[in-house]
Amino acid sequence: MRYFIKLSYDGAAYCGWQRQVGVATVQKSLEDALSTFLRTPIEVVGAGRTDTGVNASYYVAHFDVEKAVEDCAQLTYKLNMILPADISVFSVQAVRADAHARFDAVQREYTYYISQRKNPFRRYSSWQCYVPLDVEKMNQAAQTLLNYEDFTTFAKLNSNNKTNICHVTHAEWQRSSEDRDLLVFTIRSDRFLRNMIRAIVGTLVDVGRGRYTVEEFEQILHSRDLSKSSAGAPAQGLFLSDVVYSEEIYCVEE
């Protein structure tokens, strides 16, 4: 039987999602908790990698067990008792035997937070950037992302990507309705490259502070040259905020 497990995590204490030898990762923590409760070695497959320090307000992974889970709500409760405080499981749900958390995702959404004033409560969940930013120009530049498919300009070198093609369907900056000093960037695509969003955010902020014009941002994007983009934005402001699947994968045969 295959199950989707939906969770969130604060990435500050982890060297990213993916299991690595000798360091703390979210995948390893989740596998240890599942293996303890189910009393059998469990491997989980995630919807994608998040880098060191990056967070997820919504993440999906899948795992397999030979015997069906009798009570998914009870499993969810027990996992939250075992897992550290910075990882929280929302639900465990049976899916089709061939459902895949990574390859069946049709859309992913990331959110980036910038606090424009010193805020002690957001120091670990936003980039505290105090320079004045022209949000209108940042949005004009962000809209050009929808006109491109090749994001080599924002791809981390030596990542062994088979392709740097991504289909961005939404990219927008907004001010939080609850905190006018908090800028929120939301970007959606079928896939993202490693470090892509942080590189985009860093370059868009340089548009906002007047280092680049909107036209120069598009030239940077068109160049397919990582050296022309700005330094990546800090990890703590980035959250994986949604992963979308076809409803068909939840149609489980009895």
CATH code: domain of residue 20? 3.30.70.580
Q: Does residue 248 form part of some domain?
A: no
pLDDT in tens, 102-134: 999 999 999 999 999 999 999 999 999 999 999
Q: Does residue 254 form part of some domain?
A: no
Q: Residues 211, 137: one domain? A: yes
51, 104, 206, 242: the catalytic one is: 51
The yes-or-no answer on residue 150 being catalytic is no
| 175-196: average pLDDT | 94
Q: Does residue 247 form part of some domain?
A: no
Last residue of a domain, which of 103, 121, 143? 103
Last residue of a domain, which of 80, 103, 126? 103
pTM over 0.85: yes
Question: According to the model, what pLDDT value does residue 134 have?
Answer: 97
Question: According to the model, what pLDDT value does residue 181 have?
Answer: 93
Distance from the Cα of residue 72 to its chain's centroid: 25
Question: According to the model, what pLDDT value does residue 103 have?
Answer: 96
pLDDT in tens, 30-43: 999 999 999 999 99
Q: What is the mean pLDDT of the chain?
A: 95
Q: Residues 28, 96: one domain? A: yes
Within 13 Å of residue 242, how many CA atoms lie on the same side as its CB? 11
Structure tokens at 105: 């995702």
205: Cβ contacts below 8 Å, ≥ 6 apart:
114, 129, 133, 138, 230, 233
Last residue of a domain, which of 73, 103, 133? 103
Helix runs in the chain, H state only: 26-38, 72-82, 135-143, 196-208, 214-223
Q: Residues 224, 184: one domain? A: yes
Q: Residues 136, 217: one domain? A: yes
Q: Residues 89, 141: one domain? A: no
Q: Does residue 67 form part of some domain?
A: yes
Structure tokens at 152: 């080599």
Tell me the pLDDT band of 253, cut-offs 50, 70 and 90.
Answer: low
Which residue range(s) make up the domain with 83? 2-103
Question: According to the model, what pLDDT value does residue 242 have?
Answer: 98
Q: Residues 60, 168: one domain? A: no
State how many domains the chain has.
2
Longest dimension (CA), the chain: 59
